[in-house]
Amino acid sequence: MLIKQLSVFIENREGRLLEVTDVLAKHDVNIVTLSLADTSEYGILRIIVSDPEKGREVLKEAGISAKFTEVIAVQVPNKSGELQHILKVVSDAGSNIEYMYVLSTGINSSVIVKVTDTLPVIEALKKSGVTMYTAEEVYRFQA
Amino acid sequence: MIWNETKECMSRDEIQTLQSARLVKMVNRVYHNVEFYRKKMQQMGLEPGDIQGIEDITKLPYTTKDDLRDNYPFGLFAVPESEIVRVHASSGTTGKATVVGYTRRDIEMWSECVARVLTMGGVGRNDKVQISYGYGLFTGGLGAHYGAENVGAMVIPLSTGNTKKQITLMEDFGVTTICCTPSYLMYLTEALEDAGKVDKIKLKSAICGAEPWTDGMRNEIERRLGITAYDIYGLSEILGPGVAGDCEHHTGLHVYEDHFVPEIIDPKTLQPVKEGTVGELVFTTITKEALPLFRYRTKDLTSISYDKCPCGRTMARLSRFQGRSDDMLIIRGVNVFPSQVEAALLELGGVTPNYLLVVDRINNLDTLEVQVEADDNFNFDEIRELENMTKKITRTLEQALGIAAHVKLVEPKTLARSEGKAKRVIDNRKLL
């Protein structure tokens, strides 16, 4: 259930994001989904790729530092109250959501979630009947 | 007006005779009272008797800032601590301050020197002098203060900051002279213009020092405020402000050679250079009681001329400063060494000691940006973590440097790696 996300620190300047995507494309590493958090001076690019180890390696070779962060991919059926239910489970497990962003998986959506204590949250979600993707499933999402 | 015509207008012969007598006396006193110099002289096989006159000054050993630091706090004092009536200190490269001390007579001599500079700037007993240098361990505030009292002016000890109040009192009290850093005066000029107060104040002169400035900046200030601006030079190791100052002819800084003997040396060979050649300025104090120094290397680059100034004063004049022979920066009047930044970052941990200082002058105030690499030790998955780190670095640097710096995180491995001499500083200020 643990998914390896790549976090890349990038300065807020022209063309920098392009350089990152360029390196990944050249080495045939697919970006499954991403989110970009930004401040006035720098941004943090969070990406789920088809092959995290390879992704990190090729970025490093290109002089771009990337760190692994463990996240989970939670399915959210396209119905009212579903997200609220998931958030409640996380909250009841005593964990805090650091950030979340969408993972597009067709008619239903999923969210990539970074929580403070990953393992207890995974257990709690499982118990409450919430479906999560495995790392392999996520890495293989492709058009 | 000349404050002390007998001294300031002596002939070259008279100056040298006086310097010789004072130097011989001082070398004797130092040899017997300061272990550091006694040992140094013994190692060189030099005895006090070898110094017969001012021409023998080149036989004396050099003194550096490191020597002061190594003997922290009072190791170089030549008098018992009971004779010391004041200490000042400036920040050092490794956190340890450079401490300087004064006896009662040293303070009197200091007030005399500052009075000479102020008088050159037309300040007299009818003037109202606003001191906008920092008061405290920094020599600027109290140094200028005692000199202004000595000339009999009304002194307004405002210290730094609170520009609004500075302007209010300047207007209400009818201040005629301000003592501050040139960059602060530029800032104040704009604030006065914005407040529409330029015509309402009675300011006629400014005595500026503690950081380098250009003739262009001087002209700009003079034009916009309708005043005359003068330069005052000094360094705490030798005295504080008042080692030298310029007159209305702006022909260079008149050095008070009856107290401080200037020399210009080649910073590499350490040999004296010919008159008029640029080199490192070195001072020997010949009257200081508490902290007499032999050939103190200021690291300031300049040249000396000995011809008489149209103002009638005869003492040596220093030309405009051409920079430094070390990497010290003067930012908002504060001495900053890049190595201080490095030491602070290392102490902090979690940050590579790879950094770049970018100094600029924006709206006439010096700015310091410290670029730091966010390396793999950073948890750069979360903005909050990065912001905390930035805040922590900012606080640590402010404590270490004594001035606020803007910390900017940059990508890992993007700052130049040290290949021989690493480029640690980009100074975008146009000063020279």
Angle between helices B35-43 and B12-33 (to 10 degrees): 100
Structure ipTM: 0.77
Give the pLDDT score at B133: 93
Contact between chains at B383 and A44 (C-beta distance less than 8 A): yes
Q: What letter does residue B133 receive in the DSSP assignment?
A: S
Tell whether A39 is within 8 A of chain B (Cβ): yes
Q: What is the pLDDT of residues B323-347, one digit of tens each?
A: 788 878 888 878 888 878 877 887 7
pTM: 0.73
Nearest Cβ partner of B411 from A10, A98, A99? Answer: A10
Residue B54 lies in a domain: yes
Tell me whether strands B240-245 and B253-255 are parallel, antiparallel or unpaired.
Answer: antiparallel
Place of tokens 């020399």: B263
- B120: how many CB neighbours lie within 10 A of its CB? 24
Band (B417; pLDDT cuts 50, 70, 90): low
Contact between residue B101 and residue B77 where contact means Cβ atoms under 8 Å apart: yes
Which residues, at least 6 apart from B108, have a Cβ–Cβ distance to it below 8 Å?
none
B23 with B57: CB under 8 angstroms? yes
Predicted local confidence at residue B285, as pLDDT: 98
3-state secondary structure of A82: helix
Q: Do B368 and B397 touch, CB atoms closer than 8 A?
A: no
Enumerate the residues of chain B whose CB falls inside 8 A of the CB of residue A65. Answer: 375-376, 380, 411-413
Given a cut of 70, whether residue B153 has pLDDT beyond it is yes
| Final residue in a domain of this structure, among B290, B308, B326 | B326
Q: How does pLDDT run across B216-231, given as a tens digit for each residue?
A: 788 889 999 999 999 9
Mean of pLDDT over chain B: 90
pLDDT at B296 over 90: yes
Choose among A3, A19, A131: nearest CA to A75: A131
Does residue B384 lie within any of the structural domains?
Answer: yes
Task: Let me know if the fold of A3-68 is the same as that of A70-140.
Answer: no
Q: Is the pLDDT of residue B129 over 70?
A: yes
Q: Clarify whether residues B320 and B392 are in a common domain.
A: no
Whether residues A65 and B382 touch (CB distance < 8 A) is answered with no
Distance CA B278, CA B306 (A): 14
- Assess whether B317 and B345 both reside in one domain: no
- Residue A78, pLDDT above cutoff 80: yes
Q: What is the pLDDT of residue B172?
A: 97
Q: Are A75 and A108 in contact (CB under 8 A)?
A: yes
Our count of domains for chain B comes to 2
Question: B268 and B149, same structural domain?
Answer: yes
Is the pLDDT reported for residue B432 higher than 60? no
Could you report the per-residue pLDDT of B195-208, keeping only the tens digit for each? 999 999 999 999 99
CB-based contacts of A42, cutoff 8 Å, min separation 6: A9, A10, A11, A12, B374, B386, B409, B410
Q: What is the pLDDT of residue B421?
A: 47
Confidence of residue B350 (pLDDT cuts 50, 70, 90): low
- Chain B residues in contact with A10 (beta carbon < 8 A): 411
Say yes or no for a CB contact (<8 Å) between B411 and A65.
yes
Same domain, B140 and B205: yes
Q: Are A67 and B376 in contact (CB < 8 Å)? A: yes
Q: What is the pLDDT of residues B229-282, one digit of tens each?
A: 999 999 999 999 999 999 999 999 999 999 999 999 999 999 999 989 999 999
- Report domain extents, chain A: 3-68, 70-140
Q: For A11, which of B375, B381, B410 is closest by C-beta distance?
A: B410
B432 assigned to some structural domain: no
The pLDDT assigned to B315 comes to 96
CATH code for position B389: 3.30.300.30
Contact between B15 and B315 under an 8 Å Cβ cutoff? The reply is yes
The residue among B311, B326, B341 that closes a domain is B326
Residues B257-291 as b or e (16 or more Cβ within 10 Å = b)? bbbbbbbbbebeeeeebeeeebbbbbbbbbebbbb
Task: Evaluate the omega torsion of the peptide bond into residue B267 and state whether it is cis, within 30 degrees of 0.
Answer: no
The CATH-assigned architecture of domain A70-140 is 2-Layer Sandwich (3.30)
pLDDT > 90? residue A133: yes
Q: Mention the CATH class of domain A3-68.
A: alpha beta
pLDDT tier for residue B39 given thresholds of 50, 70 and 90 = very high
Parent domain of B136 = 5-326
